[in-house]
Homo-oligomer: A and B are copies of this chain.
């Protein structure tokens, strides 16, 4: 996942070389850290386990990221980037129709929640207590992400085309409804629901659109 081939350096395909190059190791460490942070939270995550899963040594985390905190930030930079890309891809070509724009945003959100449940899990870990990391998250990413959704939702409500939800509670209501099924996938599986099933995903996304945007005004 993420760029498998490195552009800079491309350090010659030597046989059994030890040095994999900075970018490769950084990517591998971030990939492993995302899983570890999502599973155990920040404090519960072990830098030794992260390094082992990435095929590296613990000291390499200090070398490439200096600290556990910095590694965590780079993990969130990557995942938030993926979220923005998913929403951008979904809303592409719907610049004119406000309703289609919001519908696409919802579907993009659900799509990433299903594909990257780690983001929801990490957010749920961090947003529960006031911490330096939560403040960083808000300043750097969360605040910026909320703005366009707010704008679009406001326009839609003026047209009477959306559910009666104030923009203050909209954010957590929508995110919660969209992500808990995937964040809590093991629990869902115990209940006989498989969140990895594309059919489940489809019904879930459709349900959310119907929930927040109603049965549809003109299209469909």
Contacts and interface: CB of A to CB of B under 8 A. Distances in A.
Interface of A: 38-41, 43-44, 117, 121, 123-130, 134-135, 137-138, 142-143, 146, 163-166, 168-169, 171-181, 183-188, 190-193, 200, 203-204, 206-208, 210-212
A200 B137 CA distance: 24
Main SS class of interface, A: helix
A117 B204 CA distance: 25
Contacts of A175: 176, 180
B138 A187 contact: yes
Contact of A203 (B117, B128, B166): B166
A186 B38 contact: no
A48 B182 CA distance: 33
What is the oligomeric copy number?
2
A207 B172 contact: no
A133 to B, nearest CB: 11
Contacts of A176: 175-181
Contacts of A146: 191
A127 to B, nearest CB: 4
Given A44-B44, A184-B128, A173 B142 contact: no
Most interface-central of A142, A173, A176 (chain B CB within 10 A): A176
A192 B138 CA distance: 12
Nearest to A184: B127
A173 B207 contact: yes
B39 A41 contact: no
A204 B169 contact: yes
Given A44-B41, A175-B180, A178-B176, A142 B187 contact: yes
